[in-house]
Structure 1
């Protein structure tokens, strides 16, 4: 496992700060990673995802295109694709504002920037996959703790899309947050609208959420 991450402060070095300031600090920290550090982190993440029991039988997995220093899931995708896994990207729902639907992601698929400037496949009724029909969802975190507290970009898209999982957990896909290990902090409040995670996977380990 790569040791480059030791050059960054640990969660114990972070003073208590408001959520918006913590979000800013953690985003700045991951943007400072060099291409080589990002490459090493992504390779280690891939190995930890392959060992994650929540993904062993998953065949339909939602993924994301990394930006802003987010850890890159593409090395994992390349390995899992050889095992017959199909991947999907989130698409802003044109009818239900604030929610996501998922479209197939593969080499050569045409992508267009949405209103946030994030590339996504075209919305297609024939190809879209609703949230409940996925086996697992891998999405980026800005910060997290070991008790399931998490910090995202603040849009709430995943929480609204997977709100049904609180009432019907058996029908919900495995929700797995991805992050660099240094994005772990001591504690984050769990808000009433937060959809519970099954685990958080980093370049160093898998954190099971109790």
Structure 2
């Protein structure tokens, strides 16, 4: 079996897992989103957060947005990731609500439109958030994460590898995206947990 440290093997596994989640029916996706959000609501990292980032799902990603009304009732400020212009594939996090002007980025994903001055004033770096809910392509039983391959979150969260205050990182995925084991790369930023529609997987206390 080809090692998952091999780039070709990683690409093949990404394709396989993306096909799996995209094969879910609309009803299965909707139920998975509701079950995911129920599991998320029980996490202390979610319950304590006053500033939280989530994402708008694409390409079969599990949908965390049913949490939006719950956050609103709890007066939690919600942020979305936005591609930083003139930077090396990293992210800002911009405040989001129902009336936020949106625009598609170069990947065709909707994000808050930072051409508006109000949106630029409402952007934060990752370290200023309490908790980030991040998408992933695959995960294992130690909460190791396989991302999309672009390194956007790893670059934006690289400061966390140096220690000091940092947000909680919660990966989310469909249960069918769990695999037996994933390699840990030097640039990987560890998650606190991965939450699926079926379970919560906590990270090992010590990451290798």
TM-score (norm 2): 0.89
User: Deviations for 1:56-115, whole angstroms, at most 9, x for unmatched residues?
Assistant: 210111110001000000112222221111111111111322110011111021111111
Match of 2:162? 167
Alignment partners' CA distance in 1, 2:138 and 2:92: 24
Gaps spanning 5+ residues in structure 2: where? Answer: none
User: Deviations for 1:141-199, whole angstroms, at most 9, x for unmatched residues?
Assistant: 1000122322111000000000001112x411001100001111000100000001000
Alignment partners' CA distance in 2, 1:31 and 1:143: 13
Alignment of 1:50-129 (within 5 A): 50-123=41-114, 124-129=119-124
Matched, 1:26 2:23: no
CA contact (8 A) 2:154 2:188 kept: yes
1:152 equivalent among 144, 147, 150: 147
1:193 equivalent among 187, 200, 207: 187
Secondary structure of the corresponding residue to residue 47 of structure 1: helix
Structure 1 stretches (4+) deviating beyond 2 angstroms?
A: none
CA contact (8 A) 2:32 2:174 kept: yes
Match of 1:134? 129
RMSD: 1.5
Gaps spanning 5+ residues in structure 1: where? Answer: 1-14
Alignment partners' CA distance in 2, 1:131 and 1:151: 20
Alignment partners' CA distance in 1, 2:166 and 2:125: 11
CA contact (8 A) 2:132 2:169 kept: yes
TM-score (norm 1): 0.89
The total of aligned residue pairs comes to: 195
Alignment partners' CA distance in 2, 1:81 and 1:171: 26
Alignment partners' CA distance in 1, 2:108 and 2:57: 12
Alignment partners' CA distance in 2, 1:87 and 1:208: 24
Cα pair distance change 1:16/1:96, threshold 3 Å:
closer
CA contact (8 A) 2:94 2:124 kept: yes
